[in-house]
Amino acid sequence: MKIESIQFGLTDWSQIQPTEHKGATGTAYWRTQQFDTIRVRMVEYSPGYQADHWCVKGHILLCLEGELHTELADGKTFLLTAGISYQVADNAEPHRSYTSTGAKLFIVD
């Protein structure tokens, strides 16, 4: 990732209106900022959220609260709790996530 053309700035995430994204079950609420080609999000998954697709987008994802289970297409699974992150490149390993308890995430992609 190359970061260019972005001036120094602050983001008050509480002032950004969330958008609702339904999963196979549950709902994700995204607060999104776009900086040139880089998307930055604060995402909250409701308890019982399960993604409705396999994602091939690259991310750097940090779990801030709750628990997030991430499954790779090859069957491997990973548990993220507060303070644990993952990173994956575009088109590297299809992945999808679910949470039984809910989770709050900070994502850069």
| E strand or H helix at 70 | strand 59-72
What local confidence, expressed as pLDDT, does residue 4 receive?
Answer: 84
DSSP state of 46: P
Listed residue (109, 13, 16, 7) closest to 64, CA to CA:
13
The pLDDT of 31-56, averaged and rounded, is 96
Tens digit of each residue's pLDDT (9 = 90 or more) over 12-40: 999 999 999 999 999 999 999 999 999 99
Distance separating alpha carbons of residues 33 and 82, to the nearest angstrom: 22
Q: Above 80 in pLDDT, residue 1?
A: no
Distance separating alpha carbons of residues 37 and 65, to the nearest angstrom: 27
Domain ranges of the chain: 28-108
The class (CATH top level) of 28-108 is mainly beta
Residue 103 has a CB neighbour count (10 Å cut-off) of: 25
Phi, psi of 98 (to 5 degrees): -150, 160
Q: Above 80 in pLDDT, residue 72?
A: yes
